[in-house]
Structure 1
Amino acid sequence: MRLLLVAALVAAAFAARDSLKWNHEVRSESVDGVESFKTGYEYRFHLDAQVSHGLPVPGSLQSATRSKSLVTLSFPESETVAHLRLEKVRFASLQKEIDEPKKIQPFELFEEIELSEEHLRTLRLPVRFRYENGMVSEIEFDREDLPWSMNIKRVYINMLQVNLAQRNSGESRFTNEFESKKDNVFTAPELTLEGECEVAYTILPESSSRREESELLVTKSINFEKCSHRVGQRYNFRFGDECPSCEPKFNGEERNIESSTVFNYRIAGTPSRFVIKEVELRSVYSYAPISEKETFFTTFVSGNMRLIEVNKENKRIAAPKSEKKETLLYSMEWEKKEEKFLATGDESLLKESPYPEIKNKHEVVSRLIKSMIVKMESEEKGIELAATHEMARIVQVLRFATKEEIKKIQKKIVKTLASLCKDSRRQPLEHQSCWLTVGALMHGVCGDHRDKLAIESSEERKCPREMKERFVSILNDEFETAETRYEKILALKTIANSGMDLTVYPLDKIIRNEKEEKIVRVQAIEALRKLRSVLPRKMINILMPVFKNIREHPEIRVAAFHQIMQTVPEKNIIDQIIYQLEKEPSTQVHSFVYSSLEQYSRSEIPCEKRMADYCKHALRTLRTQPRKMVSSTYKHWTVYNEENKNGATLNWAALFSNDSVLPKEVMTTLETAFAGQWNKYLAQVGFQQHNIDQVLYKLLEKVEKSGLEEVLVRGKRSSFKPTEVLSGLFSKLSIVSRKQKEQDPHALVYIRFRDMDYALLPIDEQVIPEMMKTVIRNGRIELGEIESILAKGYRFNTVLSSFVYERTRSIATSIGSPLIFSSKMPTIFKIDGSVKVELEPRNGKSFDGLKVSVQARPTLASTHVTKVEMTCPMVSLGVKLLHSTHINVPVDMTTEMSWDKKFDLKTTLALPKDSRRIVQLQTRPVSFLRIWPKETRAYVEPKEKTIYVEELETLVHKIRSSHLEKATGIRMNVEGHVHGHIWEKGMEGIPSALLIGENNLEISFEKTEETPKEYVIKTEISTFDEESRMERPSMERFFENDNKKYFKTEEYEEYDGDEEDRQTSFKNYVKSYKSDKAYSHRLFAEIKSVGGRKERKAEIELRSVCDDKLRHCKINFAGFTTPLLEMETRDWKIESSIEMLYPEMPETLEELLNQKHRELSINVESRWGSDNKNELKMKIQGEQNKVHFSLHFCD
């Protein structure tokens, strides 16, 4: 009996274990013979799902999650209305190597996560939906259900949707042949969890004799390139333009992301009445931010839902308490509330957050700030790379801090932006920054750009037309009420930053208003720039008449043309521009436009390729004009890598006019094309001016009339006439000065970043005296006052921290959680030190020297983070690439200059007193996993592991070497490990080791006994020193018997003499050569070490003596250096002498024809080496070009 009892207990235990594991092979036998979903039955499915993130390398470290659950499906009322409920939900995570991440791994390999009762209760809430012919609609969730839970339930419902009835199919081949063979392929638009896209179906009968019922094998795949709506978000893509000529891969919704979702169904029954026996889900999401050939990350989603049991419905699934019906599309309800909180600060929106709340955020931020400060304090290490990560964490916590929490973090909170703009007129800097920020915010809300917000997924509009009209009215009123030129320009810069399409109407009015100042109209034209891809035709319609109007000012016409070219115009527009140039009367407009078209015709940027071809063909028939010294010009340098599909453009423009010596505008712009993102105006610096030369003219006129000592208290009287120089320049350049009364002198300096105006500095006749007020007294510049200010020096201590850029893209996935792709670059720069300037000699009567001392400790830490992350209320996981740079180079330098009789420059560079690391470069792929607690009072750190790619590890080279110590006494240590062939791609499509490999390189300065205290660099320059006499040329033996054949010249048609006569003529010329005057020039440079065990020194001296006619010159060069290389023990020297003699200059044509020797003769002698045994002697003869010409004489 006891044995039987034990056996029974063991059997019961195994049965219980099998029940918990849902043994499919046993339980699935009960579903054989089931051919359709029926009312009154309960269908139980077992679902296994897995998500893994990692590099596209087999067998590499993965961060993964695993889930399993029991799904109950019933049809209590009708075969077209289904109820669904989840049971026995289990969740687990893993962070280790997986050989085949596509395959679902055993649950036992993962570490199970304990779900909270609240999470389990929410997941168990039922859902009801209409299920008609395999298609899902009218989904009803319980009113207590939460968005994250709804999306997980949508995963199961999405796996049940199969369009066997071929509703809305466009390419059906459902024929009689299918009725017999059950073979069908078709496509149809379908609303899925991930978006509304085209879906392809392939239906095949299962070839198996084991089953009696007929079964179909159905494959369903989503074409994400053909989606009318793809669920997701995009942030900070508004700073780039579309690239119309780029690869198709980089256009549209699927830019940089390759998505693939395939369902495989095993179905019993007929297309009208069926039951799903098994569904297999496979999704792959690849991220290629640079090019499609360089995939950084791959995310695999695998799922299997299998019918394991069919029973009579004993207990009906409770119906959900619902008031609304929803679709199968992923719900972005939480994302919308998150956006609204970030925009408005409404704290009630955070109550529905699916993620645990961080308590006492002010304390968390305080701890993070203290940690960041500690990582920045070390003078030896500078800013540690970890400080950039702390900075990113601070930003992340602050973004979800409430108003009350922010007040605790910073008690003196700034007032609302609108009131700041209104009240800060007394503080011009804040007033300017405020309005420019307002414009940027308006662009984010109402501008037409490539950002995509969650709020757009619903019928609620991000920016209704009424809001946009109100914004435009505010900006236009600001311009209309402006009283000064600066206020008008600031209003136009704000309008430009807003980039709203409705601003085109007030801007058109300002551009056409000839009563406005030129600079205001030019700024109005530039304010259209953000509409170049939104309203290109409207911009051309406004600007083309302005450009073609020859009565307009050249500056306005050029500005109009420049903005037309930013729209990347078609051929017909280029033809109009060419036609205008053919009859263009303005040389400045013609010069600028022609140089622009010429530069664009050479562009390699694919976004401009078609326009470049138009320009190239059009320029063939266009006349050119001779360029002047001050002709307007445009330069457009491009570089582009066809393989990686990225490049950059550097633009430089200078616009001149006939009424100013100075350029009217100078501008430099950097643009980039990167993975389909065309960043126009990524960075731009510009200068505009009008009549500033008149201010300079007045200043020079005062110097001429009163003497320089009347202007500079310690200066000498001027001996030249500056006004004559300037007037002569006006005359030579055909410049006509206009009356100053027309417009007072003014200038503008502006800075743009990412197509946004960041700052502008206005300069006018009132501002200039204000800047000089402290140093000008009674019409004279007080150098003593300047001297006292400079002598005090200037101390500075600045820390700048910023995200150089940040960009985020998220998409809905087939597993019901968002997949977030992000790139950011947190950067911290710190510098402290002092600058002192002394005028030399101090308190003297003359000012002929300057001494500048700089002591600074600049340090920089920057980390570029590229990340893919999937989040849910239980866990967040993913993979990221870190590319970090750390620089810590102290500067202690003193420079002395004097220019009394000669120019002397002496620079003393002190070396660091202690050893230190100065540069660190690091790349590191990281897998991370963060399990969310129920509640936390600290920033939840993820568990991070560095990913090692086995295929690349065989190429790793360890580096440990020292350099420069022998030559300079400075030991520079290079340590670390890098991959060989770091720039090359790996095998089987693996990206290069620079992108996904783990590399670390450190360069450090080590102080040793050889290290000097400082280096001194001296430079002396003297020119046109008159010499008492010039030695006669020593070239009598230039032609010797053994080398005469090498110097034989070709005979001229005009000269019939032989070679002997020529050489004899040359010797006579050398003997009779005399020079009345001679001038010498000298350049001397020296660098030497001070301190250390031995002196290290190098110097060069170049001295030349030439006669006043530059016919005879002697050049001497000498160089010296202490041992530089390891094997050297003696000093190294070089001495060279060069003597040049030009032929005699004929005074008449007859003398030229009779001249026998017309060649340049050069003697070169050089000796070098430690013992001067290396010797070189050369004789060089230069001949005239053999150009044949004829002379015709007339009576």
Structure 2
Amino acid sequence: MRGIIFLLALTLVGSQRTKKEHYSSEKSSQPNFSERQTYVYNYEGVVLTGLPENGLNRAGVKITAKVQISALAQTNYLMMIKDPQIQELNGIAPTVPLTTTSKLSQRLAADLTRPVRFEYVNGRVGKIDAPETLPENILNIHRGILNLLQITIKKTQNVYELQEAGIEGICHTRYILQEVKKTNHIVVTKSKDLSNCQDRAMQQIGVAYAQPCISCQQRGKNLRGTVAITQVLKPTKSSGALITEANSRELHQFTPLHELDGTVILEGRQDLTLNEIKAEAVPVPQVKFLPRGSLKYVTDRDILQRPIQLLKYDNLEAQIVNILRYLAQYNQQEVRIDAPDKFLQLIQLLRLASFETLAKTWRRFSNAMDRQDTEEYRCRRWLLEALPAVGTADSLRLLKRKIQSSEIKTIEAAQALILAMQQLKADRQSVPIAKELLSIEQIKQSPILRKIVLLGYGSVVNRFCAERQSCPEEVLQPLHDLLADAGSRLHEREIVLGLKAVGNAGQSTSIKRIQKFLPGFGSAALSLPLKVQADAVASLRNIARRDPRKVQDITIEIFMNRNNHPEVRMIACVVLFSTKPSLALVTAVADSLLKETSLQVASFTYSHMKAISRSSLPALNSVAAACNVAVKLLSPKLDQLGVRYSKVFRADIFRYNLMSGAAAKVLLINSAGSAIPTSILAKVRGHALGSSVDLAEVGLRADGLQEALLRNRVTLTGRPNIEKIQRILKMLSGWKSLPDEVPLASAHFKLFGQEIAFIEFRKDDIQQVTQTLGTSVQNQIKRSIEQLQRGIKAHPSKALLAAEVRRIVPTGLGLPMELSLISSAVAVAKINVQAQTSSSSASSPITRISQLLSSTIQISTTINPSLAIVTKAVMGINAPFMQAGVELLARVSVNQPININARINVKEQNLKIESKPSTEERRIILLNSQVFVVSRNIEDLSSAKMTPILPSSNEVSITQQEFRTQHSSSEDYHQTIPRLSPESISQETSSSEEQRRIPSASTYHTCAITTKLGLEVCLDARMKNSVFIKNCLLYRLIGQHAVNVTIKPVHRESEIEKIVLEIQTGSKAVSKRIRLTDQEDQQSGRIQEGAFMKRTESKTKDTSLKSSSSSSSRRSYHFSSDRRSSRRSRDGMRGVSPDDQGLGRTTSELQSSSSSSSSSSSSSSSSSSSSSRMQTSTQLSSSRQISSSRRISDDRRRS
């Protein structure tokens, strides 16, 4: 017994000792810092951006410093950065030496050296405190260093996975622990998949309306990121374990195409090495620390203030005014190539300006609203163009106040508000201002502005709630109140407007409000017109993206209910399939069609499913498979329905090597007993970069107009004059008997799934138009004619921020990596129009439409349109103080003057258009594209580097070989490109022969000559791409590309004076032909036969034979005076050949500068469907030369 007790005692003591050793061992393995010591680390961080292959130019940043860590309390520590240095790299790494940016280093050192307090418990970084004035982008660099100290150790496992917090967010992390017994160290390796994160630190702009395509990303991701961190721990007696070394390797790769066909990469490297341990603690600084979050990267509050271009801001107001005056002064006649860049600079400056600065800038030019010929007016116009693209709360507030004070005209306000509401950055500062626009009296009194603001506010709500689980009720309240008030009053127009605004918002909390207007869900729907019910169902489309299950339940119930109108059921079918229903739900729809009583519904649904079953889009794979099964069930019964039933036509294409595609869909909704569609909808959808978005949608609806046309069928014959217009109006005489709630026609337009505008024509609209017809219209016609006779000179211009898409993710260094696509376009036109009429005299001015239609109108028009577009695609570091990365810069310039003289005689039904041919060589289209590696810093912008990504060669830049687009661009490139020497090339980069290959430029030249117009169009292309590295599409795009399209006159013996297009219609077409033929006979009778005895005339005859035989319309040229036209064969003039027959054939007349008169031939045609005839006449000469030559040959034989 005593032995047993002794053994139990030993066992108990041993177990307690084991537990104590295990506890102490577990505690000793957790990294911590001693409270009585200071640790000094050497830190180095590098980021490089470029192509993954060696031997190519890259751009990067390097940060070096000393990091000092000491304890403040039990779990709180102090980190201070000493001697920070910022260096730039631009060239081929590692052969190009780094450039120290002393000015930037001094500027950032003032903030980098400020202390930061952090919580550190068992290897995990907790809360971070810092001074309130420390900028967030500097604190993120501190977070990048602390991220190397973040570690989670499980003593019982050597390999494990978990979700760990870091600077990137909470991401999936895999740990591997290894113990090195020789050195008594523990090596911890952890890797993260940055594409698999619960809470990713990321900020996006411009993609709120895009839908991610999960199935597309399964085939290939456009953006991937990963990071691997190695930490070396040394056990210590005082603190458990100490991190003596930490290394990080990071990689981000991006491609707009498939990732297997080449990518652009960003590489990051961090090294933190323990240098020394000091026995004394650092004195606590007298600084007030405030909570600044955790280890997770904190993005800027306003992403719009992130620089598009790196600019210094000395005096914002003066800089804004200077750019406005530059745009107003140098872009009147034609747009300059740098105008889009200046417009982007203007937008960036306005985003940084406060409301007071914006208001002061506006007051400078506000008094020039009616002085259109002044520079101040043009500056005011450019400012109005830029304010909508600014997208800040202050810019919208300025527009609101100027509308309230009537400083902006209604048409100007409409243009500005359409863009401003769509480009506004929806946040807590801007949404209340957009909400205030709904209550402005000036907007309430204008139906156009009120409609724009309500639809735009719905879009603002959509973007504001896009990344939120639920949308705040106070944000949706104005739209819900509008819908409830309109429903209580059964005001149809207000209900439609409210439904469209709520549909733009696309929030699931609005479903209950919409259900009141859905058939079968609300009692009010029974008393509403068909169009309102259809709009209520269509408003669920955007909501289906957030709550597809709820929308499926509603739409399937509407579709299955055969008591509902067929059109409502068909729209419910469209919404249902947009939710990507399951196979079971698609089968239920197919089963219901087997018992369907409405052939319109059956035909529409069947064609819709059949079109989806043929889709090749990855996003529709599951739905296409389900529809394929359903089509097989329905094919025997519904495959034979004709085109008079409602149909869906769909076409799509997707290319996996491009990871992009497009889809187009047309919906035709018919009603029973009519072959005319009551509704037509066309939509285009794009797929790219792992997402899809509705690009544009146009819908037309004409149920009331259809009914009016069917009631009164009138045959339209005769001439297009007042009588014919009255006959057309007679067809619509039945509109007065239509119900008030039935609109005659309606149309809507959507952009990116958001309804931008819609219009309805009702009985009261026609009545208003009818009442205004009278003296007001006549006076307007009189004023317009008088203004045309005096001449109209205009210099319209339009600037647009065409695209701004940004995605910002943090790097391990704490610097932001940005992927962005920014495009700006500026269009300018110089217009000069002058008109004269045959009866324009002081005694009998034209005041009525009948006088105008009986007069001959001569219009001279000179138009010089020009367009400039700049597009930038960037991947790399983009911080407020520096930029380093890869940049694609593309420019497009278009300029083509147009001179046209037109003579219109409505009474004679004659139109004659004359234009002078080109007399000099002119470049009409220029396209330049090049990929650079860029390095810029805010303290030394003059030394910014833009080096072509491909290695330099001794060749001149391809854009400089034959046509020059930018002065001294090639010289700048060669100055910034470093020259490699054999001594500086490392073994790693020089060992491969492939890395030393230099790309060679290739050229392409082709021309097309149009002898009929005396014009030659040439296309020149130059390219130097990176196909020598890898033969894929992305590498074909990377490099230098230049395309030049020019037009120049064709040098001939006989010059062309002008180009004439004459159209003669009506009953005088035949008489016109006879008259032209008689004139031809008289001219050919005076031709001297001796002029055709020359040998050169035979060559001209052969050329004319070839040109006349190649064209069925028999067009040729009038030659110079020593080559007069010969007599045409009378046999050919008397009859009309079958080739000359055709309705509405247009012709061109080419007249010689030395010919005093021109001959013409014409072709007549008749239409079997009506009694009207159309005749077109062409002035010719080649056929007469052929006939005259034949006659001369007969005379020779007779002699």
Give the TM-score normalised by the residue count of structure 1.
Answer: 0.70
2:751 to 753, 772, 795: 753
- SS class of match (1:826): strand
1:150 to 113, 128, 139: 139
- SS class of match (1:1001): strand
Distance across 1 between alignment mates of 2:641 and 2:858? 42
Structure 2 residue aligned with 1:264: 230
- Seen in structure 2, the aligned counterparts of structure 1 residues 572 and 961 have a Cα distance that, compared at 3 Å, is closer
- Seen in structure 2, the aligned counterparts of structure 1 residues 463 and 1133 have a Cα distance that, compared at 3 Å, is farther
2:256 to 282, 289, 309: 289
Written as runs of structure 1 = structure 2, the 5 A alignment for 1:269-418 is: 269=235, 273-293=240-260, 297-313=264-280, 315-316=282-283, 318=285, 321-322=288-289, 324=291, 326-332=293-299, 335-336=300-301, 338=302, 358-374=313-329, 376-377=331-332, 379=333, 382-411=334-363, 413-414=398-399, 415=401, 417-418=434-435
Question: Which ranges in structure 1 are unaligned for 5 or more consecutive residues?
Answer: 1-34, 167-171, 175-183, 343-349, 453-460, 728-735, 1027-1077, 1109-1117, 1123-1129, 1135-1167, 1172-1195
Distance across 2 between alignment mates of 1:738 and 1:775? 18
Letter in 1 for 2:208: R
Q: Is the 8 A contact 1:715 1:845 kept in 2?
A: no
2:149 to 160, 163, 169: 160
Q: Is the 8 A contact 1:83 1:319 kept in 2?
A: no
Distance across 2 between alignment mates of 1:737 and 1:273? 90
- SS class of match (1:758): strand
Distance across 2 between alignment mates of 1:907 and 1:627? 48
Distance across 2 between alignment mates of 1:323 and 1:722? 78
Q: Is the 8 A contact 2:32 2:123 kept in 1?
A: no
- Structure 2 residue 477 is matched with structure 1 residue 470: yes
Distance across 1 between alignment mates of 2:778 and 2:94? 82
Structure 2 residue aligned with 1:822: 820
Distance across 2 between alignment mates of 1:813 and 1:1014? 64
Structure 2 residue aligned with 1:189: 163
Written as runs of structure 1 = structure 2, the 5 A alignment for 1:211-290 is: 213-248=183-218, 256-269=222-235, 273-290=240-257
- SS class of match (1:639): strand
Deviations along 1:265-298, one digit per CA (max 9) or x if unpaired, are 3443389933333222211222223332355532
Structure 2 residue aligned with 1:575: 587
Structure 2 residue aligned with 1:178: none
The alpha-carbon deviation at position 322 of structure 1 amounts to 3.2
Structure 2 residue aligned with 1:977: 1022
Distance across 2 between alignment mates of 1:444 and 1:238? 6
- Seen in structure 2, the aligned counterparts of structure 1 residues 624 and 1099 have a Cα distance that, compared at 3 Å, is farther
- SS class of match (2:621): helix
Higher relative contact order (Cα pairs below 8 Å, separated by 6+ residues)? 2
Distance across 1 between alignment mates of 2:459 and 2:343? 24
Structure 2 residue aligned with 1:440: 459
- SS class of match (2:532): helix
Structure 2 residue aligned with 1:1005: 1047
Q: Is the 8 A contact 1:637 1:650 kept in 2?
A: yes
- SS class of match (1:404): helix
Question: Which ranges in structure 2 are unaligned for 5 or more consecutive residues?
Answer: 1-30, 367-397, 402-432, 520-524, 841-849, 953-994, 1072-1136, 1170-1177, 1194-1199
The alpha-carbon deviation at position 576 of structure 1 amounts to 2.3
The alpha-carbon deviation at position 868 of structure 1 amounts to 2.3
- Seen in structure 2, the aligned counterparts of structure 1 residues 620 and 771 have a Cα distance that, compared at 3 Å, is same
Deviations along 1:899-942, one digit per CA (max 9) or x if unpaired, are 999x97754343356543210122111333332249xxxx9996
The alpha-carbon deviation at position 231 of structure 1 amounts to 0.7
Distance across 1 between alignment mates of 2:286 and 2:1168? 109
- Structure 2 residue 556 is matched with structure 1 residue 544: yes
Q: Is the 8 A contact 2:1056 2:1150 kept in 1?
A: yes
The alpha-carbon deviation at position 407 of structure 1 amounts to 0.6
The alpha-carbon deviation at position 574 of structure 1 amounts to 1.6
- Seen in structure 2, the aligned counterparts of structure 1 residues 793 and 569 have a Cα distance that, compared at 3 Å, is farther
Structure 2 residue aligned with 1:1082: 1141
- Seen in structure 2, the aligned counterparts of structure 1 residues 1100 and 919 have a Cα distance that, compared at 3 Å, is farther
Structure 1 residue aligned with 2:897: 890
Structure 2 residue aligned with 1:1184: none
The alpha-carbon deviation at position 363 of structure 1 amounts to 1.9
1:604 to 610, 616, 640: 616
Q: Is the 8 A contact 1:42 1:75 kept in 2?
A: yes
The alpha-carbon deviation at position 468 of structure 1 amounts to 4.4
Structure 1 residue aligned with 2:965: none
Q: Is the 8 A contact 2:736 2:763 kept in 1?
A: no
Deviations along 1:62-91, one digit per CA (max 9) or x if unpaired, are 22222211112334765x654322111122
- Seen in structure 2, the aligned counterparts of structure 1 residues 1094 and 204 have a Cα distance that, compared at 3 Å, is farther
Letter in 2 for 1:652: V
Q: Is the 8 A contact 1:957 1:977 kept in 2?
A: yes
Distance across 2 between alignment mates of 1:907 and 1:1088? 10
Q: Is the 8 A contact 2:486 2:492 kept in 1?
A: no
Deviations along 1:927-959, one digit per CA (max 9) or x if unpaired, are 33332249xxxx999654443356896342245
Higher Cα radius of gyration: 1
Distance across 2 between alignment mates of 1:758 and 1:793? 35
Written as runs of structure 1 = structure 2, the 5 A alignment for 1:690-839 is: 690-696=703-709, 740-741=738-739, 743-771=741-769, 797-833=795-831
Deviations along 1:759-782, one digit per CA (max 9) or x if unpaired, are 112211222344455656999999
Q: Is the 8 A contact 1:775 1:783 kept in 2?
A: no
Letter in 2 for 1:614: A
Distance across 1 between alignment mates of 2:861 and 2:555? 50
Deviations along 1:1083-1109, one digit per CA (max 9) or x if unpaired, are 4765443357999x999998999999x
The alpha-carbon deviation at position 855 of structure 1 amounts to 4.3
Structure 2 residue aligned with 1:586: 598
- SS class of match (2:438): helix
Q: Is the 8 A contact 1:445 1:462 kept in 2?
A: no
- Seen in structure 2, the aligned counterparts of structure 1 residues 438 and 716 have a Cα distance that, compared at 3 Å, is closer
- Seen in structure 2, the aligned counterparts of structure 1 residues 614 and 794 have a Cα distance that, compared at 3 Å, is farther
Written as runs of structure 1 = structure 2, the 5 A alignment for 1:637-656 is: 637-656=651-670
Distance across 1 between alignment mates of 2:649 and 2:621? 17
The alpha-carbon deviation at position 507 of structure 1 amounts to 0.6
Q: Is the 8 A contact 2:853 2:905 kept in 1?
A: no
- SS class of match (1:987): coil
Letter in 2 for 1:1016: V
RMSD: 4.9
Q: Share of identical aligned residues, percent?
A: 18
Letter in 2 for 1:860: L
Letter in 1 for 2:298: S
- Seen in structure 2, the aligned counterparts of structure 1 residues 781 and 571 have a Cα distance that, compared at 3 Å, is farther
Distance across 1 between alignment mates of 2:582 and 2:145? 50
The alpha-carbon deviation at position 429 of structure 1 amounts to 1.9
1013-1022 or 994-1003, which moves further after superposition?
1013-1022
Distance across 1 between alignment mates of 2:497 and 2:678? 19
The alpha-carbon deviation at position 851 of structure 1 amounts to 8.2
- Seen in structure 2, the aligned counterparts of structure 1 residues 396 and 580 have a Cα distance that, compared at 3 Å, is same
Deviations along 1:460-501, one digit per CA (max 9) or x if unpaired, are x79763434535534434644777533332222211111122
Higher helix share: 2
- Seen in structure 2, the aligned counterparts of structure 1 residues 496 and 841 have a Cα distance that, compared at 3 Å, is farther
Distance across 2 between alignment mates of 1:772 and 1:52? 70
Deviations along 1:148-190, one digit per CA (max 9) or x if unpaired, are 3322222222112333445xxxxx7x4xxxxxxxxx4332322
Distance across 2 between alignment mates of 1:589 and 1:664? 14
Number of aligned residues: 957
Letter in 1 for 2:533: R
The alpha-carbon deviation at position 811 of structure 1 amounts to 1.0
1:43 to 33, 39, 46: 39
1:425 to 423, 441, 444: 444
Give the TM-score normalised by the residue count of structure 2.
Answer: 0.70
- Seen in structure 2, the aligned counterparts of structure 1 residues 476 and 953 have a Cα distance that, compared at 3 Å, is farther
Higher strand share: 1
2:526 to 502, 514, 535: 514
The alpha-carbon deviation at position 235 of structure 1 amounts to 1.6
Deviations along 1:799-847, one digit per CA (max 9) or x if unpaired, are 2222223211111210012212111221223344367899999979997
